[in-house]
Amino acid sequence: MTNASLPSHMTGLPRQWCWPHELAALALAIGMGAAALAVMVGAAYMMRALQIRLTPNPNAPLPIAALPPEPELDLDSFVHGRAIFSTVCAMCHGPDGRGIRGLGRDLTHSLFVCDQRDSALASFIRKGRTANDPLNLTKVEMPPRGGRPDMTDENVSQVVTYLRGLQDPRRVPAAAATTPNPVVLVPPPPSQDDLAKALAAAGGDAELAEYIANGSRLFASSCTSCHGRDAKGMPNLGKDLTVSTFIAERDDDQMLEFLKRGRDPNDPLNTSKVAMPPKGGNPALSEDDLLDIVAFLRSIHARGPAAAK
Ligand code: HEC
Ligand code: HEC
């Protein structure tokens, strides 16, 4: 005997079982529940994204401080690593390695760094971590070799030595404090090919071509890690500069001012909430260097060098 053939009071269903209204109420309840869940998941996701973008408390004790000290680091490797770090890594990880909000993470407290053996850490730095790598929590790319293909494998091990010292100051050789940084990773002078390209972009003006070629070389070493090799931008990092109306609408003096100052995430003009560091994070760039970079940017701008003032 099936339920359908029973009188309704015996099946436990209410006598006035009214499908359309009951269903509508049920659908509404499910819909509201799902909406509330979506809001909660969205909020949790945003909180997490925000949390990841903030650097951890820089004054927290270093994770390694509790462990017995390891042997002192090699002085030469350490100072080379320090020079490379300030040239290549500091723009994203901060001059002291404590991270920059929305850019590179704090490396002084990084358990990842602490856990990896030297060889594994070196291999990580050589490979980097793309924005869509499942291990990437910030969705900002860690570029291979920090965006400097001219970094040799030896340079990478030197940086690893420096990271060890950042994580455990007890291992830093005392002489490091008084040893000046060696000169590292000087960008090569423009090639004949670069010069020819620059001359074409400058419409045959040899002096302007020289500025553009020099700007191109400096851009490659100081700006590409965030804006990409072709200046077309990187996901969650620097913007596309080849179509930037900001550049097209500013004269050279205004561009110089901008590059010297950078753009803080709190700046009203900042749309990405990621910092554009002053001088792209390379304090060594002179005003002339920056103006050469501006000449280069105008030469590759979609509106053509005519946008230049
Ligand atoms: C263009 C910006 C940028 C530059 C330049 C850069 N990094 Fe990074 N780095 C990042 C970002 C972003 C992350 C975090 C990616 C993620 O969320 O997994 C990261 C992560 C790391 C990590 C892993 C930390 C962890 O706890 O997971 C190490 C180690 C590291 N970087 C070392 C370096 C070194 C050494 C250099 C210089 C040779 C360098 N980075 C240059 C952006 C950069
Ligand atoms: C560490 C990463 C980083 C480096 C290195 C860097 N930038 Fe940027 N830059 C950014 C970010 C992020 C923005 C976008 C900020 C915003 O949302 O307004 C930006 C914005 C800009 C803008 C404004 C574009 C616009 O349309 O608003 C210019 C111009 C620029 N960068 C030029 C440079 C130059 C030239 C260099 C090298 C000297 C450089 N940047 C190096 C991250 C970087």
β-bridge partners, 129: 142
- Position 137 pLDDT exceeds 90: no
Least confident of 3-17, 94-108, 197-211: 3-17
Buried b (16+ CB within 10 A) or exposed e, 170-182: ebbbeebeeeeee
Please state the rounded mean pLDDT for residues 189-200: 91
Phi, psi at 276, each rounded to 5°: -95, 110
How far does the centroid of ligand 1 lie from the alpha carbon of residue 145, in Å?
9
- Position 173 pLDDT exceeds 50: yes
Q: Is the CB of 120 under 6 A from ligand 1?
A: no
Could you report how far apart the first and last alpha carbons of the chain are, in Å? Answer: 91
Q: Is the CB of 217 under 6 A from ligand 1?
A: no
List, for residues 138-158, the tens digit of each pLDDT value. 888 999 999 999 999 999 999
pLDDT of 68 = 81
Q: Please state, in angstroms and rounded to a whole number, the distance separating the CA atoms of residues 240 and 243.
A: 6
Cα dihedral 77/80/83/89 (nearest 10): -60
Q: Is the CB of 138 under 6 A from ligand 1?
A: yes
Domains of the chain listed by start with CATH number: 71-177 (1.10.760.10), 192-307 (1.10.760.10)
Nearest ligand by distance to the CA of 283 = 2
pLDDT of 309 = 45
- pTM, rounded to two decimals: 0.81
How far does the centroid of ligand 2 lie from the alpha carbon of residue 185, in Å?
22
pLDDT band at 286 (very low <50, low <70, confident <90, very high): very high
pLDDT of 21 = 77
- Position 90 pLDDT exceeds 70: yes
pLDDT of 27 = 87
DSSP code of 68? Answer: P
- Position 255 pLDDT exceeds 90: yes
